[in-house]
């Protein structure tokens, strides 16, 4: 059997294909190759907006049966795709802005007034990067079984999938973002990748293959200027506890590793317990040394012994005085006579 990646057979692409029916984004690419392609691009976008929302609405009930969040991710993918084509076009910048506004205004109203049944499109800092990364992760989890069944050789699998990923995402990331700083992609508090060029937001097979798909719904993605840990080699990048599950070690070992990580040598809880223990031990040790060897200890011991001796002396003296008292014998004798 020939090992070839067929895009139409990828589970992640099935709904994408249905959603993109009659969109013909390649026509927009052709218009954008020309400096005077503004008018054609404007007409295309006016039709594109209506077709995309119609396709999404028609597939709503089918999405409810499978995964509505997946349908929403695909909708946002096509919006980011068209915006990426415009931003990387040869059309003048002022005309690009007008085309982008034509898309933004139409879809902002649709999202705002809930015409999309709860589907959201965040516009915060790095929100586009985050949703694109999240879709890459979900797509891989959808496609993983197909890839493993199609490619017996892992290197061929990596090469084919990376090539497919690049063709799918390069139009979104193929334009320059001004003043892009050095940033890090952090997934579940682990640094997965550093990037300073916008097209490096695309994750490779090596960077995502070890992510645990069963915990993907709770995945936390951050784009920041902080490197949470030294970058691991490409072969071992990813989320280590989930990687152990994919390797066949079972959920118990992964859960145990997670619990161990929570009380790791650098965790705040363990540091507090150790600090309290050292303080108590220090107080006890200091008190013992002070009492045993310091002048203060000598003074304390002397006073305690002196008080004990004084108390004993007073008791003995009182006893002798009592014996010398004739009334003591008289009272004692009376007591015995009465008792007899």
3-state secondary structure 284-308: HHHHHHHHHHCHHHHHHHHHHHHHH
| Residue 289: inside a domain | yes
- CA separation (Å) from 211 to 137, 201, 203, 247, 281? 8, 17, 12, 11, 44
Rounded distance between C-alpha atoms, residue 105 and residue 27, angstroms: 22
Q: How many CB atoms lie within 10 A of CB 309?
A: 10
- Dihedral angle of Cα 90, 93, 98, 99, to the nearest 10 degrees: 30
* DSSP-derived pairing of the beta strands 183-187 and 190-195: antiparallel
User: Which two structure tokens, joined as six digits, stand for 235?
Assistant: 């072969």
Alpha-carbon span 45 to 169, nearest angstrom? 20
Tell me the C-alpha distance between 238 and 250, whole Å.
17
Using CA atoms, how far apart are residues 141 and 12, in angstroms rounded to an integer?
9
Domain count of the fold of the chain: 1
Q: For residue 312, is it within any domain?
A: yes
Calculate ∠ Cα 26-141-235, nearest 5°: 100
pLDDT tens, position by position, 112-132:
876 787 888 988 888 999 999
Residue 3, classed as helix, strand or coil, is: coil
**pLDDT of res. 283:** 59
Specify the pLDDT at position 181: 80
Measure the CA–CA gap between 216 and 262, rounded to whole angstroms.
20
Residues of the chain with pLDDT under 50: 1, 232-276, 278-279, 281, 289, 309-310, 312-314, 316, 319-320, 322-323, 328-340
333 HSE (CA, 13 A, CB side): 5
Q: Is residue 53 in some structural domain?
A: no
* CA nearest neighbour of 131 among 41, 221, 61: 221
Domain that holds residue 302: 270-339
**Torsions phi, psi for 22 (to 5 deg):** 65, 10
User: Domain for residue 125, yes or no?
Assistant: no
Q: Which residue has the tokens 């161990």?
A: 260
Beta carbons of 270 and 264 less than 8 angstroms apart? yes
Q: Are 174 and 132 in contact (CB under 8 A)?
A: no
Rounded CA separation 146/294 (Å): 78
Main-chain dihedrals φ then ψ at residue 244, nearest 5 degrees? -65, -35
- What is the model's pLDDT at position 248? 39
Helix or strand or coil: residue 195? strand
Say if 277 falls within a structural domain.
yes
pTM: 0.65
Q: Is residue 9 assigned to a domain?
A: no
Contacts by 171-177, CB closer than 8 A, 24 or more apart: 171/29, 171/81, 171/84, 171/85, 171/88, 172/80, 172/81, 172/83, 172/84, 172/132, 173/84, 173/132, 173/198, 173/199, 173/201, 173/202, 174/84, 174/88, 174/199, 175/84, 175/87, 175/88
Does residue 296 form part of some domain?
Answer: yes
Domain assignment present for 89: no
């Amino acid at each position: 059997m020939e090992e070839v990646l067929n895009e139409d057979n990828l589970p992640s692409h099935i709904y994408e294909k249905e959603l993109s029916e009659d969109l013909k984004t390649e026509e927009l690419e052709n218009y954008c190759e020309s400096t005077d392609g503004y008018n054609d691009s404007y007409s295309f976008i006016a039709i594109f907006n209506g077709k995309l929302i119609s396709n999404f609405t028609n597939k709503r009930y089918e999405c409810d049966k499978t995964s509505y969040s997946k349908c929403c991710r695909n909708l946002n993918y096509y919006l980011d795709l068209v915006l990426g084509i415009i931003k990387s076009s040869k059309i003048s910048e002022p005309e690009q802005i007008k085309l982008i506004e034509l898309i933004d205004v139409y879809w902002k109203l649709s999202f705002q007034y809930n015409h999309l049944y709860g589907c959201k499109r965040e516009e915060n800092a790095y929100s586009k990067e985050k949703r694109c990364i999240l879709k890459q992760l979900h797509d891989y989890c959808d496609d993983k079984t197909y890839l493993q069944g199609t490619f017996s050789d892992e290197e061929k699998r990596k090469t084919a999938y990376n090539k497919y990923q690049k063709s799918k995402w390069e139009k979104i990331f193929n334009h320059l973002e001004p003043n892009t700083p050095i940033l890090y992609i952090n997934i579940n508090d682990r640094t997965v990748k550093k990037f300073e060029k916008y097209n490096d937001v695309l994750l490779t097979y090596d960077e995502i293959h070890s992510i645990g798909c069963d915990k993907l719904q709770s995945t936390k993605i951050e784009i920041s200027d902080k490197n949470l840990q030294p970058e691991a080699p490409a072969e071992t990048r990813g989320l280590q506890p989930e990687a152990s599950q994919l390797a066949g070690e079972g959920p118990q070992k992964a859960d145990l590793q997670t619990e161990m990580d929570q009380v790791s040598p650098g965790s705040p809880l363990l540091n507090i317990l150790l600090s309290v223990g050292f303080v108590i031990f220090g107080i006890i040790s200091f008190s013992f040394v002070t009492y045993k060897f310091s002048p203060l200890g000598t003074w304390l011991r002397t006073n305690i012994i002196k008080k004990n001796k004084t108390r004993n002396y007073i008791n003995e003296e009182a006893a002798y005085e009592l014996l010398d008292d004739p009334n003591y014998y008289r009272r004692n004798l009376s007591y015995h006579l009465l008792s007899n």
